């Protein structure tokens, strides 16, 4: 059987696909039966590093500005679809899973040409144009957040596939190791700050303000983003109980150490907050008509998160300082976050793929 994945561009597309692929391997599928289709970005590094074949497609997304480059997209998509079809025809029958982004359309077209069924997984609460387009002929459609159900016919809510560490996450068993990893005082509560792999200047500035508070009885664990780390590490060197790191490969450690987290509302971040039952203050990225805020809608409604728009970010440090010192409120928020967690997403999708491939 062949298990193909189309995922490219950002970690938000690629990491869920990798989580499902690894779950398939754990269930007995040979890694050689798995193939990824992508472009020339992050996937070129992390997919081969995970032990899977990557077929690169010469394709890019639609540019928002008026440009002659957009006129070449139909031909580019057809060529990429031909590569997908040719690759799949050389392999045993199976199923393709589309995870969104600019490879979705040529991958789905190629699968149809090869006579292979495909399914869709949408990571965000507001589906992208590509996934909505190819959903019409998908065998099944899976979504991570309830608001996306309204954009598809017969979609199933499963959550976002996460790394195995989140499926079995238990804060109590690894918290002491997390404190030792970061050199944190185990007697002080911790505010975690995370702006994504590249960092977020607005959140970094909020962390600086929070760290400047006199006599604060809590620690700050701050993932700054690589580009911002040098300057912030220099500032944190003179501030007690403010730990900065450029990024964290093992994010379960970050969540285990944090009593409350300040973050954006990216799809995977929101899913990880729920899976780890971590209270949060989320500041959605003010772009794309506010779509990111929809990712955190269920989490906020369940009481697990507080959403603050970026125009009100000046209020964030005081909210965090108050929240981290309120154990009863944090306990309630943990329960709320846990109630919307779906850590079994990778297993559910992998099981469905095996059923479709065997059909």
Please list, in sequence order, all residues whose beta carbon lies within 8 angstroms of the beta carbon of residue 314, skipping any fewer than 6 positions away.
none
Q: What are the tokens at 46?
A: 């992390």
Q: Which of 79, 50, 77, 47 is nearest to 61 (CA)?
A: 77
Taking residue 243's Cβ as centre, other Cβ atoms within 10 Å add up to: 19
244 shares its domain with 191? yes
* Stretch among 53-62, 94-103, 210-219 having the lowest mean pLDDT: 53-62
pLDDT more than 70, % of the chain: 94
Q: How many folded domains does the chain comprise? A: 2
Judged against a pLDDT cut of 70, whether residue 64 lies above it is answered with no
* Rounded average pLDDT over 43-71: 75
pLDDT at 108 over 50: yes
Give the pLDDT band of residue 199 (cuts 50, 70, 90): low
Task: Count the neighbouring beta carbons within 10 Å of the beta carbon of residue 310.
Answer: 16
- In this structure, the answer to whether residues 185 and 323 fall within a common structural domain is yes
Average pLDDT over residues 27-52: 95
- Whether residues 42 and 179 share a domain: the answer is no
- Dist CA 44 CA 199 (whole Å): 22
Residue 324 has pLDDT above 80, yes or no: yes
Are 99 and 194 members of one domain?
no
Segment 106-118 shows an average pLDDT of 97
Residues 238 and 320 in one domain: yes
| pLDDT score, position 66 | 40
Indicate left, alpha or beta for 200 from its phi (over 0: left) and psi (-120 to 50: alpha): beta
Q: Are residues 261 and 295 in the same domain?
A: yes
Give bridge partners of residue 38 from the DSSP assignment: 56
Q: Are residues 181 and 151 in the same domain?
A: no
Determine the 3-state secondary structure of 97 from DSSP.
Answer: strand
State the average pLDDT for the chain: 92
Are residues 210 and 134 both part of a single domain? no
Pairs from 174-178 (Cβ < 8 Å, separation ≥ 24) = 174/252, 174/253, 174/256, 175/256, 175/257, 177/253, 177/256, 178/253, 178/254, 178/256, 178/257
| Number of neighbours of residue 219 by Cβ within 10 angstroms | 27
Strand order in the sheet with 219-223: 242-245, 219-223, 190-194, 260-263, 280-282, 305-307
Indicate whether 173 and 321 sit together in one domain: yes
Q: Are residues 64 and 127 in the same domain?
A: yes
Domain boundaries, position 276: 169-339
Q: Do both 146 and 9 map to the same domain?
A: yes
Q: What is the CATH number of the domain that holds 352?
A: 3.40.50.2000
What tens digit of pLDDT does each residue of 281-322 get?
Answer: 999 998 776 789 999 999 999 999 999 999 999 999 999 999
Q: What is the pLDDT of residue 280?
A: 98
162-190 pLDDT, tens per residue?
999 998 899 999 999 999 999 999 999 99
Q: Where are the alpha helices (DSSP H) in the chain?
A: 11-26, 43-49, 73-89, 104-113, 129-134, 164-167, 171-182, 201-211, 229-236, 251-257, 267-275, 291-295, 297-301, 316-323, 327-339, 345-358
Q: Are 149 and 186 in a shared domain? A: no
Instruction: Check residue 144 and give its pLDDT.
Output: 97
For residue 283 the two structure tokens come to 């500041």
Of the chain, the percentage scoring pLDDT greater than 90 comes to 81
């Amino acid at each position: 059987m062949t298990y193909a994945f189309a995922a490219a561009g950002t970690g938000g597309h690629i990491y869920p696909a990798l989580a499902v692929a690894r779950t398939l391997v754990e269930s007995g599928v040979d890694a050689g039966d798995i193939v990824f289709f992508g472009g020339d970005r992050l996937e070129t590094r992390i997919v081969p590093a995970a032990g899977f074949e990557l077929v690169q497609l010469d394709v890019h997304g639609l540019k928002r500005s008026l440009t002659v480059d957009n006129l070449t997209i139909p031909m580019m998509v057809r060529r990429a679809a031909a590569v997908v079809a040719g690759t799949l025809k050389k392999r045993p029958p199976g199923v393709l899973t589309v995870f969104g982004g600019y490879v979705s359309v040529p991958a789905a077209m190629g699968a149809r040409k090869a006579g292979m069924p495909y399914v869709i997984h949408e990571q965000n609460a507001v589906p992208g144009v590509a996934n909505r387009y190819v959903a019409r002929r998908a065998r099944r459609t899976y979504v991570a957040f309830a608001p996306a159900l309204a954009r598809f016919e017969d979609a199933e809510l499963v959550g976002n596939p996460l790394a195995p560490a989140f499926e079995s996450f238990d804060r109590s068993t690894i918290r002491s190791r997390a404190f030792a990893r970061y050199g944190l005082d185990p007697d002080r509560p911790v505010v975690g700050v995370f702006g994504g792999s590249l960092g977020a200047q607005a959140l970094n500035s909020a962390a600086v303000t929070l760290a400047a508070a006199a006599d604060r009885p809590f620690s700050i664990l701050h993932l700054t983003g690589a580009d911002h780390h040098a300057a912030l590490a220099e500032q944190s060197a003179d501030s007690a109980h403010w730990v900065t790191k450029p990024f964290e490969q093992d994010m379960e450690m970050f969540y285990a150490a944090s009593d409350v987290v300040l973050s954006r509302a990216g799809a995977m971040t929101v899913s990880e907050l729920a899976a780890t039952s971590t209270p949060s203050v989320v500041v959605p990225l003010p772009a794309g008509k506010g779509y990111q805020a929809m990712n955190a809608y269920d989490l906020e409604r369940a009481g697990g998160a507080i959403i603050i728009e970026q125009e009100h970010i000046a209020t964030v440090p005081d909210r965090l300082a108050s929240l981290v010192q309120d154990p009863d409120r944090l306990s309630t928020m943990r329960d709320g976050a846990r109630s919307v967690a779906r850590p079994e997403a990778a297993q559910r999708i992998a099981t469905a793929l095996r059923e479709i491939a065997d059909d």
